[in-house]
Amino acid sequence: MKKIEKARLPELFAALNETAALYLPADRDGVAAFTRWQEGVTLTEKLNTVRSAKDLFFPQVETLANFKTQGGTIEIEDAARQDEDFIVFGVRACDLRSFEILDRVFLAEPQDTFYKARREHAAIITLACNAPEETCFCTAFSIDAADPQGDVTAFLTDTALCLRANTEKGENLLAKLPLSDGAESEIAAWQKQARETLEKLPIQLDLSGFTGERMMELFNHPAWQPLSEACLGCGTCTFVCPTCQCYDVKDFKTKDGVQRFRCWDSCMYSDFTMMSAGQPRPTQKERFRQRFMHKLVYYPMNNEGIFSCVGCGRCLQKCPIHMNIVKVAKTLGGERDA
Amino acid sequence: MQVKEKAIELLSSGKVSRVLGWKQGEFCYDLTPAVFESAEEVERSFVFSPLAGANLAKYLIAESRKEGVVAAFLKPCDSYSVLQLCKEHRIRRENVYLVGVPCEGTVDPDLLRENAKGLTAVREAGGTLVCDTLYGEKRVDLSAVLLERCKVCKSKKIVVFDELLGENGEENPQSTRFAAVEEIENLTPEERYAFWQKELSRCIRCNACRNVCPACSCETCVFDNAKLGTDNKAPASRFEEQYFHIIRAFHVAGRCTDCGECSRVCPQKIPLHLLNRKFIRDMNTLYGQYQAGADEESLPPMLDFRMDDCEPSAARGGKQA
Ligand code: SF4
Ligand code: SF4
Ligand code: SF4
Ligand code: SF4
């Protein structure tokens, strides 16, 4: 365990940024976001960012290729992959779990080389939680918010930032920083208090009913109608979600060719997976159902029972009508009215 | 009579077949709009409080096209949205029963949560919100956590109703809702551009602002129309900064009642109301006072043509560098 006084955080960030481009959660006009560090940028006081850390590996928009026409020829230019190292500081345990979930999608064959390059070039410094909010339910997915992993784990106590390397990459990184020696015991009380709070979080979910065997029963559940009734189909829940992974590929006509890009898509949208035969999910009920069935049933069926929700609570905070995965899970699980 | 009791009475007397309202959430602030079909359902989970911020006017477009009469509870600002939608023949007035509810302001859950971290429950005591949190009890002034639209409320008058719960209020000509618009007008074009770029570059194009907006009720939005080639779901090439929001503001000009829903729902806290208010203010100065949704008869400024209308050049200007 290494440490640095809290007052010297700017120095630490500068030193980290010396080794590779540093991103950290900072306030931008009152909204916390992963931000490229520069002199003067400080760590947010907020528990988590509005957009998740997923953005750094799977950005909302990215160019895949450029096609240039000249006379009768077309020149195809592949877009560059990430080729420089970068550091992400301040990833919460929930967002860290989201990387594992995304990895199973993007790193399965055929691998997504854009995503892969970013994953390989990143060093991740997680930040343990000791002041969760009422919307947090990471505990439902056996995530230990008081001791997340990553290349390095950081613990911010009242006086110091304690850092523990978990990987070789993390060891090498810490060796380059102006740190003094610390001991596990320094965070023991802090961690104990964090765990006590985590234990009494108000959202307790029983997800045992969400199994592959019950897929059709859940799919045909009458509660989808009332649950989705007020949904605006806006897609906010999918865009702030750290595990939502759907994208669309589009062409943008430029002066002398075509720019092919991908952008996040949302199952909540009317043109999602639109085919020449039409829209397979004709009303908001089916679109809404897709999002939750994917998180709670389809993804786990394909991935050894791992749910693709991490309990970060972003959809609880940001849905304009306050409909969310907790209400859905409790309703389908029989704990509350639709 | 309280809102919940009224909902029960309307359903049990058979006066209406459905009630549009708010359903209890996990916490105190996460109420979901819902349609209630029986008094028992209302009894079980209907809630009305200063945390019922959502304007339910837009739901009446679809609800008023179903069998039977649906009841809805309207805060003053919601009533403007409803009347505007009636004026546009979007809501079928004969199929809705409107109950006006006087309002002292609705709470911004984000602001409340910031002031009471780990918020689990809340009670109102006078002008104070007593909050239970994971970290103990917190007292917060109600006036400090109101939504922006409520802090500058334009009118406490309920403009359309079949029945009122309490006294109707008045318009508030003293509202300072245009103050921030004036401040921006006083910037140079470069400063103004920088301001909007800073704000709009946070946009994630989630469409919450558009989808919640009662004025955005087109069957297919121009930004979703693949057949026209105008569809767009990526905030690429600075599109957001330059087009989406400005086009949307134009599309609702003269119909936007300034209900404040767009700013309320924006996950990125973009002050979208400033764009709409700029349009409202311009229309007021260039074409005469007009409040969308205030009545059903007057011609909207964008549909009205008079020989003495100003020339487009009158709208240019602003402070030059
Ligand atoms: S579904 Fe909601 S709580 Fe779960 S990971 Fe996504 S945003 Fe977070
Ligand atoms: S959900 Fe868990 S890991 Fe994520 S911010 Fe909350 S307490 Fe921390
Ligand atoms: S669930 Fe909420 S955030 Fe998601 S699309 Fe529906 S209204 Fe929007
Ligand atoms: S709600 Fe906010 S973030 Fe979403 S599209 Fe509108 S302005 Fe952009």
Which helix (DSSP H) or strand (DSSP E) does residue A15 occupy? Answer: helix A9-19
Q: Which of A83, A91, A81, A82 is nearest to A54 (CA)?
A: A91
**Interchain contact, B204 vs A232, CB within 8 Å:** no
Binning pLDDT at 50, 70 and 90, where does residue A21 land? very high
- Answer whether residue A5 shows pLDDT above 80: yes
Binning pLDDT at 50, 70 and 90, where does residue B232 land? confident
Instruction: Give the best residue of B18, B70, B268 to mutate against chain A (max A CB count within 10 A).
Output: B268
Contacts of A152 (CB under 8 A, 6+ apart): A123, A124, A125, A126, A163, A164, A165, A166, A170, A173, A174
Query: How many other CB atoms are there within 10 angstroms of residue A211's CB atom?
Result: 15
φ/ψ of B282, rounded to 5, equals: -60, -45
- Total beta-carbon pairs less than 8 A apart between chain A and chain B: 126
> Which residues on chain A are in Cβ contact (under 8 Å) with B108?
none
Ligand 1 contact via A295 beta carbon (within 6 Å): yes
Residue A136 to residue A242: CA distance in whole angstroms: 14
pLDDT for B235? 61
Residue A164 to residue A141: CA distance in whole angstroms: 24
**Interchain contact, A252 vs B236, CB within 8 Å:** yes
pLDDT for A273? 87
- Answer whether residue B309 shows pLDDT above 90: no
Which residue in chain B has the smallest CA separation from A203?
B26
Residue B115 to residue B96: CA distance in whole angstroms: 38
Q: Which of B30, B54, B234 sits opposite A261 (nearest CB)?
A: B234
Nearest CA to ligand 1 atom 8: A312
pLDDT for B126? 85
pLDDT cut 90: percent of chain A above it: 88
Q: Which of residues 201-240 of B touch A (CB under 8 A)?
A: 202, 204-208, 210-212, 224, 226, 231, 233-237
CA distance A316 to chain B (A): 8
Instruction: Measure CA A257 to chain center.
Output: 34
- Answer whether residue B303 shows pLDDT above 90: no
pLDDT cut 70: percent of chain A above it: 100
Ligand 1 contact via A187 beta carbon (within 6 Å): no
Nearest CA to ligand 2 atom 2: A138
B34 in contact with chain A, both atoms CB, cutoff 8 A: yes
DSSP-derived 3-state class of residue B292? coil
Tell which phi-psi region holds residue B162, choosing left (phi > 0), alpha (psi between -120 and 50) or beta.
alpha
Q: Please choose from A241, A268, A289 the residue to mutate so as to test ligand 3's pocket, defined by most ligand atoms within 8 A of CB.
A: A268
Q: How far apart are the first and last CA of chain B?
A: 58
pLDDT for B84? 97
Atom of ligand 2 nearest to the CA of A92: 3
B44 in contact with chain A, both atoms CB, cutoff 8 A: yes
pLDDT cut 70: percent of chain B above it: 95
Distance A311 CA to ligand 2 centre (A): 7
Tokens read off for A250: 């589009």
Q: What is the pTM of this model?
A: 0.93
pLDDT for B287? 87
Tokens read off for A109: 């064959």
φ/ψ of B71, rounded to 5, equals: -95, 145
Q: Would you list the domain boundaries of chain B?
A: 3-108+149-164, 111-145, 179-317
- Answer whether residue B317 shows pLDDT above 60: no
Mean pLDDT of A199-214: 95
Residue B233 to residue B231: CA distance in whole angstroms: 7
Ligand 4 contact via B206 beta carbon (within 6 Å): yes
Distance A264 CA to ligand 4 centre (A): 15
Which residue in chain B has the smallest CA separation from A29?
B199
Asked whether the beta carbons of A253 and A335 are under 8 A apart, the reply is: no
Ligand 3 contact via A323 beta carbon (within 6 Å): yes
Mean pLDDT of B131-153: 96
Q: Which of A61, A274, A323 sits opposite B234 (nearest CB)?
A: A61
Mean pLDDT of chain A: 95
Nearest CA to ligand 1 atom 4: A309
Residue A25 to residue A94: CA distance in whole angstroms: 14
**ipTM for this prediction:** 0.91
Residue B273 to residue A192: CA distance in whole angstroms: 45
**Separation in Å, CA A321 to CA A244, B50, B204, B286:** 19, 15, 18, 37
Nearest CA to ligand 3 atom 2: A319
Mean pLDDT of A147-158: 97
Q: Please, which residues bridge with residue A63 across strands?
A: A261
Asked whether the beta carbons of B53 and B106 are under 8 A apart, the reply is: yes
Ligand 3 contact via A232 beta carbon (within 6 Å): yes
Mean pLDDT of B226-245: 71
Closest ligand by atom to A142 CA: 2
Q: Which residue has the tokens 């106590």?
A: A157
- Answer whether residue A175 shows pLDDT above 70: yes
pLDDT for A270? 86
Q: Which residue has the tokens 């679109």?
A: A287
B269 in contact with chain A, both atoms CB, cutoff 8 A: yes
pLDDT of B22-77, one tens digit each? 999 999 999 999 999 999 999 999 999 999 999 999 999 999 999 999 999 999 99
Nearest CA to ligand 3 atom 8: A234
pLDDT for B241? 63
Asked whether the beta carbons of B16 and B8 are under 8 A apart, the reply is: no
Atom of ligand 4 nearest to the CA of B245: 7
pLDDT of A262-273, one tens digit each? 999 999 998 888
Binning pLDDT at 50, 70 and 90, where does residue B320 land? very low
